[in-house]
């Protein structure tokens, strides 16, 4: 069953619709057999990358290679690319089996028995026995699996998944996600997935490319994106995070550095991780994950502030804390809510929770957007 995957390469790909630049020179290599997730907000160009690869759009500049062979001039039918559409795009007038067989009949020529292949595919997606059903008779999850079987049946070299779970209700999504990953991994096919949901990208993708405004912000594994975001955009798009302005005080060995928070000049500097290129005195954004912060009321060395809001989500509680401005007293009564202290324990363990990125010109000045933490049950 396992096929050896092929590589996919975007080489300085440029694409504009009318006057709007959608992809501004994107280069990316997807390794053979890898599941690669393109993550980004809507309008970031991720769907365009997928459609360029499938051949539904033509690139303006650059090259597109599948298994080191240029494909940008091939029509969709000859690229050997299978696609799972967001709307599934199942043919409503054909039965389940006819849908799955469509690509086999069209290609013809091969010695393979189409019926056997259809049966094999339906078994793979656990829909054996559904051959004669009409599409309208299937649930959303079943339709998604038929669409996957149809895309895989002609043995494409690359599988493209366009927001594959967005049409399912949340309860079904989690279950289907694991299922989808298992099925795709079983075939060993190189897969490119598009999603705007971080959770989906993290769970399905072995590597993730985060797109923003037509460019790749960062490519890496899920943990890398979470722990070492390359920019403030990555830090805030992937997971929850509070952003504070600061100045690098001192570099230590490796990627450790101490940062003074701009709004809290008298507070103890924070120990963070950051790019080795950062120098002392440089303006930075400190991105801190909620789980790296500790809230306390016993008057320690943390930053004083007041709780503005609390949001309880079941396993966690998230607090929005307004830090006291350095000139006024924290107990000054102007802000409502109970007083609290926010601390960032400067231990090595906490390093994964706070990191520093270069402040970009043009980005609005950072304010303490809100600290949140796990509640102590």
Partner 1 sequence: MPWLVLAFLVWLVGYPLLVVAAEAFGIGSPGGGGPTTEAFRSFFTRADEWNAMWRTLWISVLSTLAAAAIGVPLGFLFERNEIPGRRLLGALVALPVALPPLVGVIAFLFLYGESGLAARGLQTLGLDVSWRLTGAWAILLVHAYSMYVYFYLFTRAGLSGQDGAAIEAAQSLGASRRQILFRVTLPRLRPALAGATLLTFMTSLGSFSAPYIFGGGFRVMTTQIVASKLNGELRMAYVETTMLALLAFTSLLLLRRIDPGLDLASGARGTPPARRRLHSRGARVAAAAGGWVLAGVLLLPHATLILMSLVPPNTWTVEAFPPILGLVNYGELLSSTERLRPALNSLWMAAAATLAAVVVGVMAARLSLRRGGLPGRALEAMMTLPWAIPGTVFALALAAAMSVNAPWVGRFVLVGTLWILPLAYLVRSLPLTGRSIFAGLRQLDPRLEEAAASLGAGSLRTVLQIVLPLLRPAVIAGAGLAFITMLGDFVTSIVLYTYDTRPISIEIQSSLRIQETGIAAAYGVLLMLLSAAAFIAWDDRAGGRL
Asked if 230 touches partner 1 (CB under 8 A), the answer is: no
Q: 111 or 347: whose CB is closer to partner 1?
A: 111
Alpha-carbon distances, residue 358 vs 273, 275, 287, 306 (angstroms)? 12, 8, 11, 29
Cα angle 344-201-59, degrees, rounded to a multiple of 5: 125
Which listed range, 40-48, 78-86, 279-287, 367-375, lies at the site for partner 1 (CB under 8 A)?
A: 78-86
229 interacts with partner 1 by CB under 8 A: no
- CA–CA gap between residue 362 and residue 337 (Å, rounded): 33
Shorter beta-carbon distance to partner 1: residue 76 or 265: 76
Q: Which is nearer to partner 1, 74 or 119 (CB)?
A: 74
CA distance 81 to 70: 13
SS3 content of the chain, % helix, strand, coil (to 5): 25, 30, 40
Applying CB under 8 A, the span of 52-60, 170-178, 194-202, 269-277 interacting with partner 1 comes to: 52-60
Radius of gyration of the chain (CA): 25
CA dist 200 and 238 (Å) reads 11
Please choose, out of 28-36, 84-92, 305-313, 352-360, the segment that lies near partner 1 by the rule CB under 8 A. Answer: 84-92
Which member of 61, 70, 78, 265 binds partner 1 (CB under 8 A)?
Answer: 78
Site membership for partner 1, residue 102 (CB under 8 A): yes
Q: How far is the CB of 88 from partner 1 (least distance, A)?
A: 8
Q: Is 227 helix (H, G, I), strand (E, B) or coil?
A: helix
Q: Which of 91, 137, 250, 301 binds partner 1 (CB under 8 A)?
A: 91
Give least dist CB 73 to partner 1, A. Answer: 15
Alpha-carbon distance of 1 to 164, in angstroms, equals: 22
Alpha carbon of residue 242 to chain centroid: 19
Q: 76 vs 331, which CB is nearer to partner 1? A: 76
Q: Which of 71, 151, 284, 357 binds partner 1 (CB under 8 A)?
A: 151
Measured distance CA(295)–CA(319) in Å, rounded: 9
User: What whole-number distance in Å separates Cα of residue 204 and Cα of residue 202?
Assistant: 6
The site for partner 1 (CB under 8 A) is made up of 54-56, 75-79, 81-83, 85-87, 89-93, 102-103, 106-107, 150-151, 154
């Amino acid at each position: 069953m396992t096929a050896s995957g092929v590589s996919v390469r975007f080489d300085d790909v440029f694409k504009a619709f009318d006057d709007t630049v959608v992809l501004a020179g994107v280069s990316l290599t997807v390794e053979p057999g890898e599941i690669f997730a393109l993550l980004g907000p809507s309008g970031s160009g991720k769907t365009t990358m997928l459609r360029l690869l499938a051949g539904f759009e033509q690139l303006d500049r650059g090259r597109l290679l599948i298994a080191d062979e240029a494909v940008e001039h091939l029509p969709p039918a000859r690229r050997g690319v299978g696609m799972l559409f967001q709307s599934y795009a199942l043919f409503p007038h054909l039965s389940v089996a006819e849908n799955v067989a469509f690509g086999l009949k069209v290609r013809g020529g091969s010695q393979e028995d189409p019926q056997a292949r259809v049966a094999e595919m339906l078994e793979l997606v656990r829909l054996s026995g559904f051959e004669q059903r009409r599409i309208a008779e299937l649930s959303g999850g079943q339709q998604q699996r038929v669409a996957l079987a149809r895309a895989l049946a002609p043995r494409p070299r690359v599988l493209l998944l366009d927001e594959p779970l967005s049409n399912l209700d949340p309860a079904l999504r989690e279950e289907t996600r694991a299922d989808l990953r298992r099925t795709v991994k079983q075939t060993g096919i190189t897969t490119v997935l598009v999603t705007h949901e971080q959770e989906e990208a993290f769970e399905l993708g072995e590597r993730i490319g985060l797109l923003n405004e037509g460019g790749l912000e960062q490519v890496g594994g899920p943990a890398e994106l979470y722990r070492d975001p390359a920019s403030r955009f990555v830090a805030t798009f992937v997971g929850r995070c509070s952003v504070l302005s600061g100045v690098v005080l001192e570099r230590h060995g490796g990627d450790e550095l101490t940062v003074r928070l701009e709004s809290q000049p008298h507070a103890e500097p924070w120990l963070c991780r950051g790019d080795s290129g950062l120098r002392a005195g440089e303006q930075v954004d400190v991105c801190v994950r909620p789980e790296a912060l500790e809230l306390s009321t016993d008057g320690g060395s943390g930053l004083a502030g007041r709780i503005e809001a609390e949001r309880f989500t079941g396993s966690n509680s998230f607090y929005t804390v307004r830090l006291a401005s350095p000139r006024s007293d924290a107990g000054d009564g102007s802000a409502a809510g109970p007083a609290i202290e926010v601390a960032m324990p400067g231990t090595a363990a906490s390093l994964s929770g706070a990191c520093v990125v270069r402040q970009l010109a043009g980005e609005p000045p950072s304010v303490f957007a809100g600290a949140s933490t796990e509640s102590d049950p």
